[in-house]
Every structure is written in structure tokens, then in C-alpha cells.
Chains A and B, each alone.
Chain A
């Protein structure tokens, strides 16, 4: 049908990488259109060889009907979409077919870069949608795992897949998700984080209510708890929703290590959050408002160490916080070769030299390093960023009100966290939605 080629050539006017030709093997004429860059080698054995030198009309027709890779493509408005997704359009004997032959950019699962564990598997998602789906199916290997495809992104046309366990999933959450997915208007969907902003109810949430992970085993354990997973093509991270705050503090090592170590490390993580948020603020509060809180010996030590510092405590805190934030940010962007210089410069020189020059007190150096290290004990990077931001309001309140203000703001923070809802589920509630409330499998 000359119509298909013309239509395609019209839509893709200036695309020089489009192959749109009529092939003639002496018996039939076939109109062929595809993007060679987007298609892989399977065209040769799947289409071109049966058409060219192993041609048999009956066999070819049988192949067109029986081979699942061939599908009828009668609707002209779908042709552009199919071509862009890596399908081959062929029109033969007046009928139009599409042949699936999209190219996979990666064939190996990735390795974990952000969420590594000691004893658990090191496989991570890659940027290929099929590979990711395969990894999830491999770990969560039951027939009730449902997968719904979507295409989002006006200009990027990214395919995403929503996966959940049909029997365990919370149906209200699923319904809410469908509604939100229908409502999304986004131009370029390049990574799963772009989807997060549109899926949450407000754009500027400080604390994340959707979890991003690169590990298939975490996805599997979340599916078991009845959560929903969204996999985005071209992104290494899968989205999990609805989540609670405790899911952000849960590293996969907790499933693989021994019980007592888990308890100890979990305690340390929460202590890390607490220290990160409270320590700079309480330094200001104790040094400037209520030095009588601590033991008298500690008060004299702090007093002595602040001997040379010329400005008030909150300026000191801001200077050190700025330095540490700049250091952390710079170490993300530095090229690998220069990376070690940054640690040397930051750690040794800035800290030690600043204290000796009398710019900061030595106690402040300790406070800053504890704050920085405690921040990275948190397993999830989104949550860790959020916690990094929460300490600034505390510093402000400590400047104005002292330790009592810090206590009041801590109360307000807890109320705020309890007020968050992740797709309707409570964010920060203890003793709720334990796995034992879920129906048992196989029964």
C-alpha cells in the first residue's frame, strides 16, 4: 500500500535516519519503514531472510499470522509511535503489519552504586525496561504479579510499567494511583524522579513520600507487603508507593544480617537523624542561652575552646555548615582524579587550620563532623537530603529561643511527619500495617 510509505514519509519529513523503501523480491512488493538506529539485529533473521532468500509465500503468510512478533497495524495514527519505539512497519499485499525489534541498550543487570549491602545480592536495575521487568519477575516469582503499561511524557514518550501483586495490593491506593497517572502532564520524562513530583499531592514536599530504589530485592519485599512499583524506561530507579518513614530507614542489610546487629544499626540510624537535626541547634542554644545545662566541667571546656573566636555562636555555626555543605556538594561534582584532593583539603586543612586561626572553636569542628557523618548513616539518599534541610529551621529557632524553642520545634516536626500521607496511608505511625495484617499466601 503506497499509503503507508507516503504517510510515514510525510510525518517524518526531515528524518534522514529513517529507512522507508519498497523492497521487491520478485514475487511480492513490500513497503518497509524503520529506524535502523532503534532496531536491532533480529530484523535480519526475523524479516529480511524469510523475505529475501528463504522466501516461500505460504510460509511467509503463515509467519505473518503465527509469529507473535508480527501484529496488524491498521491505524495510521499509531504508525509514528510504533516507528519511534523501534518497531518495523511493513505493508504487504495491501495489509500493514508491525514487527517488534526494538534494541536493548544494556543486556546485563547493573551493580548497586547507591544502596550497596554487605551480604545481599549486588544486582541493580539497568536502564532497560525489559531487563528491569525481568529482574522483578525473577525475584517475585508468582503469577499474581500484575503489570500495567503506560506511556507518559509528551516529548519523550517514555514507557512505564506499574507492577503490583493482585491479591495483596491496597485497592484504594491503586485507584488513586490510576487517577494521578491519568492526570499527569509532563513534557520530558527522563528519570523516575521527574515522575515523583507529579505523583505526590504537592510539588514541594520536603520529606519524600515515594521511595526510589535500584535494588530488585527491595522491590520484591515491598511487593510482598502489598505496595505498588513503577518502573520507568531509561531510568535505573524504580518507584515504590505507598511508603512509611520506616521504609526509608530500612536498609536491605536488615534482612540479611543477624538480628542483634540489625537492632543495633537501626538504633544508630535513628540516633544519627536525631544528632544531625539537633546538634547544631543545641550547640547554639547551650553556648548562648543556657550554658548551665551541661556539667560544669564541660561548660568550662567549651568556654575555653571558644576563647579566640570573635563572633557569636550562630555565625560560627553557619560558617561551618556552609563549608560542610559545599564540601559534600563539591565531592559529587569533582572528577574522579581530583576527588581525593577534596577530602584532604576539606578534612585536614579547613577544619584544623580554621580552628587554629581562631575562626571556629574546636568543639564546633567536632559538632560539624558528627553532623556530617550522622547524615550519611541514613540509607536512603532522598530522605538524607530532607534531613539535611531540616536542621536549618532548628538552627534559626535556637538563635531566637534557645533550647526550649528547639524542643517546641521538635514537637512541631513530629506532628508534621505524622500529618503526611503517602497516597492516603499514614507516613509516620508506629505499630500499623504490619505484614501480619496481610492475608497469608497460599491459603
Chain B
């Protein structure tokens, strides 16, 4: 055994000696980037990169978080990030970068380059939340909401399912955005992040629809909720319809959709939605008399609203629902079928068949 200890010892010493630059960096020598924002620069062909950095503190209280916002302009995102390293005293660590915002003007021009930088990086996780910042990412990221317990937590809770789950907020992951940008038959969308009017929280209640390169359409909050219900089957949403002078709000507890195609030459998309829920707001004595007629009224109203939305989306030339992909999956299509669909899409008709059931009316009749 003595024969073996000497080479082992030499090996161990070698390993220790070689381990000089092996990436050992303590956690308190790193600056965690919690949010990344990319805008168009002031000068043409420049990108403005904004980083929101978390300053660690030993007190964890709401509103006592300290963040530092740094930004820099450069011809490419990579150069900007590199230059930003010279503006801070600790090593930039993108490992916890969970929110990526793109400025509106950037998306209107086309965001291929920044996205390719993000896709190449190994440390930005593919499940980072992406969004569009209005008016631009720098202004939105400079906001410091009062209720944050950890730096950057507010947006993470908004988008994830741990915090608030609102039907006006859509969640989009980075990998899904990248997928939708190249997929045949499905287009991308981004939630729009704005600052609240009094400037102390975020307002995420709209969605922006993109085609393969840039921004095409922004939906209103009501349309966003409809989109959420129909495309994402989001069950914590609500349907509000006018009824005899007042409005009835049905809070949904279960949503299921089924898409089928009919028609011979130009396809007709039939969407069947089955939703059930309970009445949150409505006139008294609602259910005793007219449950059936209310349901029918809701169904027709809802179907027409959704059909309007679908036509509006179709007319702007995008397909965030993925009808094209579904059609190809149904007929096991080949490239020439896809070409036919693409040509037919502006003339496609939609039909919504909804089946709404009122389960309960709350605790009051």
C-alpha cells in the first residue's frame, strides 16, 4: 500500500494546485440579477440593458428591500452586460434572473437579437417569466413596490401561481416564447407590464400578441380575460354580461374547451367551451326563477364576445391559439398542407358553442 500512497499524494497535491481559478466565489461576493430589461437605445441600432440587482440585507421585511438598478447602452446586449460588470462591485449572477422584460418599442421593431443572446446563456433559466414593458423596461424596472419582501419578488409572485392568480394576467415562460416564435401554426404572446397610476405597484392586465418577429396587437383587459379563458382554460376567471339593466358576474370554477374543424375548402374552426361556476354578482332571487334563461343569455353573449375577439385576432394576422398547429395535428399535415392553411387563414370562420352552467349563487339565493 505504501506504493500507492505516494502517487495518490502527488495527485492530490496536483489537484489542489490546479484548482486555483475554479470558480470559487462566495455568495456575498455576487450580485443577483433579479430582473432584466431590454429596450431600444436612444441612438439607433443600440440596445439599452437594464438590470435590477438585489442588495442583500439581513432583515427580511416588507418594503425594506434594497435594490439597485443599473443600465447601459451598447450595440449588442452581450456588450452591454459586459460593460455593466464594470459598473458594479460584485460579480453579476444571472442564476436567479426570473423576469425578463422587453420594451414596447423594441418589440415593435423586432427582438430577434436580444432573444438569441438570452437563448444562448446557460444561466438564465428557461422558465424565466417574460413580458412586455410599457412604455419601456427601464421605467418599469425602476419601480420599487412597497410590499416586496425580497427584491424582485413582486413580479415573480404576480406571474407564478404562488402569489396572486388573476385572470387578467397571463404568464409566459421564456421557453414557450422561443417555441412560439418558430413554430408552424402557433404565434407568441406577451403579458404587458405597466406601472400603476400611483406608482407603487405593477399593473399586469393586458396581453400583447406577436407574430414571428414583432408586435401585432394589444388587447384590452376585458379581451385579455376572454383570451385567458378560451386559450388557457384559466379557471379562476369571471364572465360578466349585462342583464336587464344590471350586470351579472359569473365566477368560473371549471373551464374546458375543445377545438374541432369542419368545413371542406376553407376550414371552419368550432370552439366548444364548457364552463361552470357560481354567481358572484347579480340581482337578488336570481336562481329561483330564471336559471335556464340566464344561462342561455350568458351563452349567447359570451359566444358573440369570443367570436368578435377571434375575428379581431385573425384580422391582425396572428394565431396565438395555435389553430394552425391543431389543424396540422388533426390531418397529420405536411408542408403543403401548411401552405394551404396559411393562405386560407384570413378567410377562416369561427363558431363558438358555449355551455355555461351556474352551479351555485353564493350564500345568497
Contact = CB atoms under 8 A, between A and B. Distances in A.
A/B contact in complex, CB under 8 angstroms:
yes
Interface of A: 202, 286-292, 296-297, 299-307, 309, 312-313, 399-402
Nearest to B22: A400
A296 B19 contact: no
A288 B27 contact: yes
B288 interface: no
A288 B26 contact: yes
Given A304-B58, A401-B22, A299 B96 contact: yes
Contacts, number: 73
A287 B26 contact: yes
Contacts of B34: 296
B93 interface: yes
B30 A291 contact: yes
Contacts of B25: 288-289
B87 interface: no
Nearest to A292: B95
Ranked nearest first, the 7 interchain pairs of A and B with the lowest CB-CB distance are A292-B95, A303-B56, A304-B58, A296-B96, A400-B19, A287-B27, A291-B27
B95 A300 contact: no
30 contacts: A202-B1, A289-B24, A291-B30, A291-B93, A292-B93, A292-B95, A292-B125, A296-B96, A296-B98, A297-B150, A299-B27, A299-B32, A300-B60, A300-B151, A301-B60, A302-B27, A303-B27, A303-B32, A304-B56, A304-B60, A306-B26, A306-B27, A306-B28, A307-B28, A307-B57, A309-B28, A313-B26, A399-B24, A400-B22, A401-B22
A2 B288 CA distance: 125
A8 to B, nearest CB: 47
Nearest to B19: A400
A309 B29 CA distance: 12
Contacts of A301: 60
A289 B23 contact: yes
B128 to A, nearest CB: 11
A331 B200 CA distance: 57
A351 to B, nearest CB: 17
A404 to B, nearest CB: 11
Contacts of A287: 26-27
B15 interface: yes
A286 B54 CA distance: 18
Interface in B1-44: 1, 15-16, 19, 22-28, 30, 32, 34
A309 B58 CA distance: 12
Nearest to A314: B24
The B interface is mostly helix, strand or loop, or mixed, namely loop
The A interface is mostly helix, strand or loop, or mixed, namely helix
A354 to B, nearest CB: 16
Given A287-B27, A292-B123, A296-B156, 18 more contacts: A286-B27, A288-B25, A289-B24, A290-B95, A291-B27, A291-B96, A292-B93, A292-B125, A296-B152, A303-B28, A303-B32, A307-B57, A307-B58, A312-B24, A312-B26, A399-B24, A400-B22, A402-B23
B68 to A, nearest CB: 14
Nearest to B12: A396
A299 B28 CA distance: 10
Nearest to A316: B26
B54 A300 contact: yes
Nearest to A299: B96
B81 to A, nearest CB: 17
Nearest to A362: B58
Nearest to A295: B96
**A296, A299, A402: most-surrounded residue (chain B CB, <10 A):** A296
Contacts of A292: 93, 95-96, 123, 125
A189 to B, nearest CB: 25
A302 B57 CA distance: 10
B129 to A, nearest CB: 12
Contacts of A299: 27, 32, 96
Given A300-B150, A306-B28, A291 B95 contact: yes
Interface string B85-124: 0000000010110100000000000000000000000010
A117 B331 CA distance: 70
Given A291-B93, A400-B15, A296 B27 contact: no
B5 to A, nearest CB: 11
Interface in B171-226: none
A384 B34 CA distance: 43
Contacts of A304: 56-60
Contacts of A288: 24-27
A282 to B, nearest CB: 13
Contacts of B93: 291-292
A258 to B, nearest CB: 39
